[in-house]
Chain A
Amino acid sequence: MTDPVLHTERLTMRLPEAVDAGLYTEFFADAEGSGNYGGPLRPDQAWRMLAQDIGHWHLKGFGKWILELRATGQTIGGCGLVHPEGWPSHELTWWLLHSARGKGYATEASRAAIAYGYETLGWEVVETHMRDHNVPARSIAKRLGGEIDRRETFPDGVTRDIFRLPRRAEMAAS
């Protein structure tokens, strides 16, 4: 499999690699920012998370990209498609360093990841889900044209809304 690299207006999306250990360490050291992602984590745990994210690509054939600013090469977070073991469906997910939030990067990267899901992976549907109180994630899902398709209780006992995310053409039309 050739490593997929995606380009958006402001971002290069590439697979995670060894140089990203510092980015993971920084993100997971921030308790507030990484709280919805299993954080905070020690540097050695963040390193293992990086290894897991790479391994997801190997085992599933899809995963999370690293987001790099095209202008400066700076890495600011991640975005992609994952399927946590035992969960009812895959999900679109994203994470950003605190300093990179509020600039539309999650939405921009998500559009490319959604298109990859439909066009390259050939999926029937691309979805995402989040806890009810995760307001920023809900508003990004809506900005992407997402609509609540159903509500499910996940293996962790938490009930979440599942958003169906439309193809690019439908997004443009909406």
Chain B
Amino acid sequence: MIEAPVIETERLMLRPHRADDLEAYAAFMAADRAHYIGGPYSRDDTWDTLMAGAGEWVLSGHGAWAVEARHDGALAGRVNLSQPDKNPEPELGWAVFDGFEGQGIAFEAACAARESGFRTLGHDRSVSYIYPDNDRSTRFAERIGARPGPGAPAPEPEEGHLSCLVYVHHRGEMA
């Protein structure tokens, strides 16, 4: 069964998701700030997303990783390179769970996931779709070297949601 490859960075281990990742991920997805990613989401919806992010590796050769702190194995977040069927390009996404923010974890994990996409999948670019009011994420995207991509297609918005800004990550021009 094809699954997420384990990637180790200085402080983190990116690994395949496990069923017991649900607790921490569901807490993140149920919180108010999840409205920046189209939420908040129920525990059931989060479980579906967890399954889809694992299964996508078989379908597309990319998908989601759990992000674990190497020193104690705590689940700190999640990164993914995902391309749902209707999306025009593979998307780099990141989530840092409560209690792990402000430590550069998103930076370290997102760079590792993006690099893996470029190296092993041969992608020349990936994108991040970010709601225009999500200042924190647009700033973060800029910090890791992504730039707004005028002309880059955004996915059709879900009903009742804003259209996203498209930030483009180009191979070889990264932070």
Contact = CB atoms under 8 A, between A and B. Distances in A.
Interface of A: 1, 3, 15-18, 21, 43-44, 47-48, 50-60, 84-86
A59 B86 contact: no
B47 A85 contact: yes
Contact of B53 (A21, A55, A86): A55
Contact of A58 (B17, B43, B59, B60): B17
Given A43-B85, A44-B85, A57-B1, A51 B19 contact: no
Given A18-B59, A51-B55, A44 B44 contact: no
Contacts of B84: 44, 47-48
Contacts of B60: 18
B51 A52 contact: yes
Interface in B17-31: 17-19, 22
Q: Which 5 A-B pairs have the closest CB atoms?
A: A55-B51, A54-B55, A55-B55, A55-B54, A85-B47
B95 interface: no
B153 to A, nearest CB: 15
B52 interface: yes
22 contacts: A15-B1, A18-B58, A18-B60, A21-B85, A47-B84, A48-B84, A50-B55, A50-B59, A51-B52, A51-B58, A52-B51, A53-B51, A54-B51, A55-B51, A55-B52, A55-B56, A56-B55, A58-B16, A58-B17, A58-B54, A58-B55, A85-B43
A17 B44 contact: no
Given A15-B1, A51-B52, A85-B43, A59 B59 contact: no
Contacts of A59: 17-19, 50-51, 54
Interface in B134-162: none
A58 B1 contact: yes
Contacts of A43: 85
B3 interface: yes
Interface in B49-73: 50-56, 58-60
